[in-house]
Amino acid sequence: MTLGVHSATIGKVTNDIDRELPILRQNIPKDYKIPLKYIPKEKGEMCWVKLNVFVLEQSLGGLSKKFGNISSNKDIIKLVIHYLQEERLNIQNNVDMEGLMLDFMCHYREERWDTGKYFDFVNELFRAAENESYSEECEPPPCPTTPVPTKEYSTGIVD
Render pLDDT for 22-65 as a digit per residue (tens, 0 to 9): 999 999 998 899 999 999 999 998 899 999 999 999 999 999 99
Is there a domain that residue 147 lies in? no
In tens, the pLDDT along 91-114 reads 888 788 889 999 999 999 999 999
Answer yes or no: is 45 within a domain.
Answer: yes
Domains: count for the chain: 1
d(CA 135, CA 101) in angstroms, rounded, equals: 15
Task: With respect to residue 1, please indicate whether it lies within any of the assigned structural domains.
Answer: no
Whether 137 is covered by a domain: the verdict is no
pLDDT digits (tens, 9 = 90+) for 55-83: 999 999 999 999 888 889 999 999 999 99
Kindly give, in sequence order, each residue whose CB lies less than 8 Å from that of residue 18, ignoring residues fewer than 6 positions away.
none
Any idea what the CATH number is for the domain that residue 33 is in?
1.20.1250.10
Give residue 100's domain range.
10-130
DSSP for residue 123? H
Give one DSSP letter per residue of 7-50, joined into a string: -S-GGG-HHHHHHHHHHHHHHS-TT-EEEEEE--HHHHGGGHHH
Full-model pTM = 0.79
